[in-house]
Amino acid sequence: MPEPFPFFNQGEEMKNAHTYNVYVNDDYVGNKILFSQCEKIEDLSDYLNSKGFYNFQAEAEGDHYHLQMTEQDQGEVVKDELHSYLRLH
């Protein structure tokens, strides 16, 4: 009987993934790995919007994704939120 889930070679999966280094106010927060072609780095900004954070500028530059907070006091809260998010996604 075939296995219910296809077996994926993790090395092959990682070869096809793209990784971005994520920064908030020039501080490194973690890596965002895009596993599928339908994912995009801008999804990170959408996630922050869904959590109530709107006052920031986001820019992808090479393999870096920079988030610059308009309200500096939100920077630490956003960093904490992204630490949790990046560990799970």
Query: How far is residue 2's CA from residue 77's CA, in Å, rounded to a whole number?
Result: 46
Domain boundaries, the chain: 10-88
Instruction: Output the pTM of the full model.
Output: 0.79
Q: State the SS3 of the chain.
A: CCCCCCCCCHHHHHHHCEEEEEEECCEEEEEEEECCCCCCCCHHHHHHHHCCCCCEEEEEECCEEEEEECCHHHHHHHHHHHHHHHHHC
| pLDDT at residue 17 tops 90 | no
Single out the residue of 51, 52, 14, 85 nearest to residue 65, CA to CA: 85
| pLDDT at residue 12 tops 80 | no
pLDDT at 9: 46
* Structure confidence by residue, pLDDT tens digits, 29-81: 999 999 899 999 999 999 999 999 999 999 999 999 999 999 988 999 999 99
